[in-house]
Amino acid sequence: MEVSRPAPTDLLAEVRRRRAELRHAMGVLEQALGSPAAGQDWLARVRHALIQVDADFRMHVEVTEGTRGLYEQVLGDAPRLAGRVQRLTDEHRTLAVMVGELLARSEKPAEPGDADQIRSQGTVLLARLARHRQAGADLLYEAYESDVGGET
């Protein structure tokens, strides 16, 4: 039987901060995708939002997977959660590819039909990111009985 350990306070504070930043970037992307698709201006707004999502997501991966990161801490404190940590790590790769593909599409001049495809891919990305964030929050709650919050 595992002994419950206290939550790593500094690390959880960093995770909360990164979660809030990523959530904000996701909101900006959602707004950009939902705005009128008026040519290159629309695409530029979407690209700018994607660049921020990419940067914040990379920081999320660093704080979770990096040396002395969150997942290393969780595995040391609650090894029973190794499968969930692995699933979240695997999702990082999938999500990074999705962001990269959207960034690549947004580099090219918009052509007829691009907005619908980019909106569709962007919406799928946002849904996957939201589920990933929820799964991460669930992992932390189970490991430390600590709520990282559903910040707005």
Q: Which of 55, 79, 76 has the alpha carbon at shortest distance from 67?
A: 76
Q: Could you tell me the pLDDT band of residue 131, with boundaries at 50, 70 and 90?
A: very high
Whether the per-residue pLDDT at 56 is higher than 60: the answer is yes
**pTM given for the model:** 0.88
pLDDT digit string (tens) for 98-112? 999 999 999 988 777
Q: Could you tell me the pLDDT band of residue 114, with boundaries at 50, 70 and 90?
A: confident
Q: Pick the more confident residue, 6 or 38.
A: 38
Instruction: Check the CA dihedral 121-96-94-78 and report its sign.
Output: negative
DSSP string computed for 44-78: HHHHHHHHHHHHHHHHHHHHHHSTT-HHHHHHHH-
Instruction: Look at the chain and report how many structural domains it folds into.
Output: 1
**Domain limits at 67?**
9-144
CATH code of the domain in which 42 resides: 1.20.120
Q: Which of 7, 48, 135, 20 has the alpha carbon at shortest distance from 83?
A: 135
* Contact in structure between 71 and 12 (CB atoms under 8 Å): no
pLDDT value, residue 110: 75
Query: Is residue 152 included in any domain, yes or no?
Result: no
